[in-house]
Amino acid sequence: MVTVYDVPAEKLILKTAEKLKQNSAIEAPEWAEYVKTGRHTEKAPVQDDWWYTRAASILRKLYVKGPMGTSKLAAEYGGSADNGSRPNKAVKGSRNIVRKCMIQLEKAGYLVPKEKKGRMISPTGMSLLDNAAKEVQDEMKS
């Protein structure tokens, strides 16, 4: 059986994002085209469907790294902030984006809350990612 660990992460995330676009529970907010993804970025994302890619990435991270809350996930999407002449500093990404994505994924049934640990992936979410991994592996073989 093919799992998330058997295929490249980038291809898996893109395939999962395509599947998430078909789910009506996951939808980019109105402000998504204008917002930066963190303090460390200069501009908003260029891709039109970046929200679905981020939601798919969050789903994969929760599959691989276990239950996490918004703060730890925001740290995963952080980067290095430019402080001018002072040394650069590591900063977290946007917690609001992570929180909204997690809420939508939970409403869709892909995540479940875990007491005092944040959210973890549900069996439905595991199935979605494993099926996407199988499709990616089939595409890579042909």
- Per residue in 76-109, pLDDT (tens digit) is 999 999 999 999 999 999 999 999 999 999 999 9
The answer to whether 133 and 13 have CB atoms below 8 angstroms apart is: no
- Can you tell me the distance from the alpha carbon of 127 to that of 122, in angstroms, rounded to the nearest whole number? 9
CATH of the domain at 86: 1.10.10.10
Q: Is the pLDDT of residue 142 over 90?
A: no
Q: Which residue type does 21 have?
A: K
Q: Is the pLDDT of residue 1 over 90?
A: no
- Condensed to tens digits (0 to 9), the pLDDT of residues 53-81 reads 999 999 999 999 989 999 999 999 999 99
Q: Which residue type does 61 have?
A: K
Determine the average pLDDT of the residues in 108-137.
95
Residue whose C-alpha is closest to residue 91's, from 79, 107, 102: 79
The answer to whether 135 and 7 have CB atoms below 8 angstroms apart is: no
- Can you tell me the distance from the alpha carbon of 139 to that of 47, in angstroms, rounded to the nearest whole number? 24
> Residue 16 — very low, low, confident or very high, per pLDDT cuts 50/70/90?
very high
pLDDT score recorded for residue 100: 96
Instruction: For residue 24, give its domain range.
Output: 4-141
How many domains, the chain?
1
